[in-house]
């Protein structure tokens, strides 16, 4: 075949054959570009088909707290005591004076803080309306009546001279706290106390007789003091309270010693 015959033969070839011969690598790249994603998609579908039934059959493990675990108790609010007791301050001269000035003497359990009665004022430092003075009504369930016209099982509302409010701390923070005008600690809900009570004439509420002198702890046998821990032990109030509380413990109302 001479050169002229070769040129004539090439001219007779279709254009598609000539283009394909000039760019075979491009077509191969196009084929590979489409094959790789298709293969990956098939692989994912296959794995999903194999794993999904097992996932549906699997029940996730549920981690439960131990049976004896307890919910952490909320921290108690700090108590700030002001003054030397309630405003109408009277002190018992003796154990007999405490008993004679009481309308009722009971052993009772503190069951709820029923209500806070307070006076609201605007505090310029906190820029908030806050409780500025007040008291808290605590409900007691009577377990035993030692004196007075009260029935076992009655519920009594007793006035405690403290209230919850916002407090401006020395470090500049503002937190909740209890402000108390009493030398007795606030009653703890769920605890049992020996109570000397004075009834308010115009309603059904009571006060502790002579404030802190009217409330004592009671464990079923013995009575004990319920006085704030930070009192000045050299003060007259502290010395008198220690004397009266010893008399209360030794001459628990209703016992044989109480009449002697």
Do both 199 and 151 map to the same domain? yes
Q: Is residue 213 part of a domain?
A: yes
Do both 46 and 160 map to the same domain? no
For the chain, give the DSSP string. --HHHHHHHHHTS-HHHHHHHH-HHHHHHHHHHHHHHHHHHHHHHHHHHHHHHHHHHPPPP-----TT--PPPPPPPPEEE-TTS-SS----SSHHHHHHT-SEEEEEEEEEEEEEEEEEEEETTTTEEEEEEEEEEEEEEEEEEEESS--TT-EEEEEESEEEEEEE-TTS-EEEEEEE-SSBPPPPTT-EEEEEEEE-TTSSEEEETTGGGGEEEE-SS-EE--B-TTS-TTSHHHHHHHHHHHHHHHT-TTSGGGG-
Do both 129 and 9 map to the same domain? no
Do both 179 and 219 map to the same domain? yes
Tens of pLDDT, residue by residue over 157-183, are 999 988 788 777 778 777 888 888 888
How many domains does the chain contain in total?
A: 2
- For residue 60, what pLDDT is reported? 44
Q: Is residue 139 part of a domain?
A: yes
Q: Is residue 24 part of a domain?
A: yes
Q: Is residue 68 part of a domain?
A: no
Q: Is residue 211 part of a domain?
A: yes
Do both 130 and 17 map to the same domain? no
Do both 86 and 184 map to the same domain? yes
Q: Is residue 62 part of a domain?
A: no
Do both 145 and 247 map to the same domain? yes
Whether the model pTM is above 0.75: no
Which has more pLDDT, 215 or 63? 215
Tens of pLDDT, residue by residue over 108-119, are 999 998 878 767
Residues of the domain holding 220: 79-259
Do both 186 and 224 map to the same domain? yes
Q: Is residue 74 part of a domain?
A: no
Q: Is residue 168 part of a domain?
A: yes
- For residue 41, what pLDDT is reported? 56
């Amino acid at each position: 075949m001479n050169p002229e015959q070769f040129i004539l033969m090439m001219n007779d070839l279709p254009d598609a054959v000539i283009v394909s011969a000039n760019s075979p690598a491009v077509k191969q790249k196009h084929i590979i570009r489409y094959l790789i994603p298709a293969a990956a998609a098939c692989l994912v579908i296959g794995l999903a088909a194999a794993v999904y039934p097992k996932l549906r059959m699997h029940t996730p493990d549920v981690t439960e707290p131990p049976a004896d675990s307890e919910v952490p108790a909320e921290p108690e609010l700090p108590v700030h005591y002001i003054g030397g007791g309630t405003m109408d301050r009277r002190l018992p001269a003796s154990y007999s004076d405490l008993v004679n000035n009481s309308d009722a003497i009971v052993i009772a359990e503190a069951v709820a803080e029923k209500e806070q009665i307070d006076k609201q004022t605007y505090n310029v430092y906190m820029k908030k309306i806050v409780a500025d003075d007040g008291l808290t009504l605590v409900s007691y369930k009577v377990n035993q009546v030692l004196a007075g016209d009260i029935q076992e099982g009655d519920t009594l509302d007793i006035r405690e001279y403290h209230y919850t409010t916002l407090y401006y701390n020395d470090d500049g923070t503002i937190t909740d706290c209890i402000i108390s005008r009493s030398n007795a600690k606030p009653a703890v809900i769920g605890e049992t106390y020996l109570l000397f009570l004075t009834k308010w004439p115009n309603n059904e509420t009571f006060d502790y007789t002579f404030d802190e002198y009217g409330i004592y702890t009671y464990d079923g046998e013995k009575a004990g003091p319920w006085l704030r821990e930070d009192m000045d032990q050299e003060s007259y109030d502290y010395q008198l309270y220690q004397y009266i509380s010893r008399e209360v413990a030794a001459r628990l109302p209703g016992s044989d010693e109480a009449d002697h």
